Amino acid sequence: MSSTVPASTIPQRMPRKAAAAAFVGSALEYYDFFIYGAAAALVFNHIFFSAADPAIATIASLATFGVGYVARPFGGLILGHFGDRIGRKRVLILTLVIMGVASLAIGFLPTYDQIGAFAPALLVLCRLAQGFSAGGEAAGASTLAIEHAPEHRRAFFSGFTMTGYAAGMVLATIVFIPVAALPEDQLYAWGWRVPFLLSAVVLVVAYIVRSRLDETPVFAETKSVAAVERFPAAQVFRHQWRDVVRVLVCSLFAVTQTVFTVFGLAYATSPAVGIDRGTMLWVATVSIAGSLVTIPLFSALSDRIGRRPVWIIGTLGSAATIFLYFWAISTGSIPLIFLGGFLNMTLFYSMVNGLWPSFFTEMFAAPVRYSGFAIGTQLGFLLAGFAPSICYALLGSGIDGWVPVAVFTAATMVLSAIAAVTARETFRVPTALLGADALRVEAPERRRSTVGAG
């Protein structure tokens, strides 16, 4: 028994279509992720918190970025429930619509000077909607790609979820660089709105691609043998709570991303350091653009040698190189900053970032896969959301003020590596049997044959 549906019955183009659907959805999510993070680091403190002390305004602005992560676990719970109940495809179309509408709404928001405290309140509301949507997006896209993928290439095809991440963030920085170069009065008056309004284009493309995709054969088979769980979240906590906790701790790896892209931008462009906004945006662009190459390579590598070795090397390497990155920023040396960004983000972080869609998905059985993945990751990502604000509070004075920030970030990567050591190796387990022992269920083919024999 090698799969839920024999390979011969699955159209050869379907894995590629599923990978494309995962790619474009993630591109939209991370386009919105980065433009919000960049705006929170560079702009929102001036237009939504203009009445506050500058330091407090910066912390408040970064905190609105973190607010989205508060909504993610709720999105993971609710959207994961329906993803396991009614199908992966329908929920993934819904996540696109919510994310796109919320991002467009931010582009039309009035400022604090126009409507006072209602402005940041509306910003937080939009950010909560973004977070709710994101809570179900990655889990659904990864599950969709895994369940359409060939047995021996699951990591490679699901890795396109995170290749979409890289593409979305590169697109966002390309859009934001000329915006950030505007004179401050134009940037604060209208320029910051442009990237949010342009998200409509990505939304339309993503919607078209996803609406043309079929439901996954794994979910269709699960539904056909009446194995759909009535309350998937309850079942996953009953039978696979250890895997939920394991995914939660492994998900702390995401702290590095928010520290690199959001806090790093705010820190480097602060008066104390004084690096140009455009330069730091280019650092992010080049570092993440390289991931378009390294993510597929490392994903394919894990299909050959396993998930855990690649994960552990990536997390520990990223933990070490975050020190180099912040030290380089403190020196003001642009070549060293680019080198630090390459080693941390393009090389080591890509090992982890391309792998978590398959590594986490494969821990759970099909009837609870969407829920288990979504709940575990979004609880873990909660710390990542507030990491920029935490790092700003940890930041010390003087040339070595960045050290507590690097220690905090590295510690989360080490914890992620430790959690990965405790995980089952799944790269050779047939898709139909993933998580089956933990959930105490048989694969659908075996259940169906048993019923027929009776």
CATH code for position 121: 1.20.1250.20
Residue 3 forms part of a structural domain: no
Residue 4 forms part of a structural domain: no
Query: Looking at residue 169, what is its pLDDT?
Result: 83
Residue 6 forms part of a structural domain: no
Give the span between the Cα atoms of 234 and 25, in whole angstroms. Answer: 28
Residue (of 144, 67, 136) closest to 106 by Cα position:
67
**Segment 77-92 mean pLDDT:** 85
Domain limits for position 87: 13-453
**pLDDT tens across 325-379, in order?**
999 999 999 999 999 999 999 999 999 999 999 999 999 988 888 888 888 998 8
Handedness of CA 164, 169, 170, 172 (dihedral sign): positive
Query: Looking at residue 291, what is its pLDDT?
Result: 92
**pLDDT tens across 212-236, in order?**
777 777 777 766 655 566 778 788 8
Query: Looking at residue 229, what is its pLDDT?
Result: 66
Query: Looking at residue 243, what is its pLDDT?
Result: 94
Greater confidence (218 vs 101) lies with: 101
Residue 7 forms part of a structural domain: no
Among the ranges given (29-33, 121-125, 352-356), the one the predictor scored with the smallest mean pLDDT = 29-33
Q: How confident is the model at residue 173 (pLDDT cuts 50, 70, 90)?
A: confident
Residue 5 forms part of a structural domain: no
**Segment 141-147 mean pLDDT:** 83
Question: H-type helices in 240-290, by residue range?
Answer: 241-250, 254-258, 264-268, 277-289
Q: How confident is the model at residue 434 (pLDDT cuts 50, 70, 90)?
A: confident
| Region of 155 on the Ramachandran plot (φ > 0 left; ψ -120 to 50 alpha; else beta) | alpha
Residue 64 forms part of a structural domain: yes
Give the span between the Cα atoms of 32 and 25, in whole angstroms. Answer: 11
Give the span between the Cα atoms of 222 and 245, in whole angstroms. Answer: 25
Query: HSE-up of 291 (CA within 13 Å, CB side)?
Result: 32
Give the span between the Cα atoms of 68 and 328, in whole angstroms. Answer: 30
Phi, then psi, of 160 in degrees rounded to 5: -65, -20
Asked if 351 contacts 298 with a C-beta cutoff of 8 angstroms, the reply is yes
Neighbours of 110 (CB within 10 A): 13
Residue carrying structure tokens 């003020």: 401
**pLDDT tens across 367-421, in order?**
888 888 888 998 888 899 889 989 999 998 877 899 999 999 999 999 999 999 9
| The total number of structural domains that make up the chain | 1
**Segment 24-42 mean pLDDT:** 83
- Helices 369-394 and 403-421 cross at an angle (nearest 10°) of 160
Beta-carbon contacts of 22 under 8 Å, excluding residues fewer than 6 positions away, are 141, 142, 144, 145, 158, 160, 161, 164, 357
Beta-carbon contacts of 196 under 8 Å, excluding residues fewer than 6 positions away, are 32, 35, 39, 103, 104, 106, 107
Give the span between the Cα atoms of 360 and 162, in whole angstroms. Answer: 13
Query: Looking at residue 180, what is its pLDDT?
Result: 84
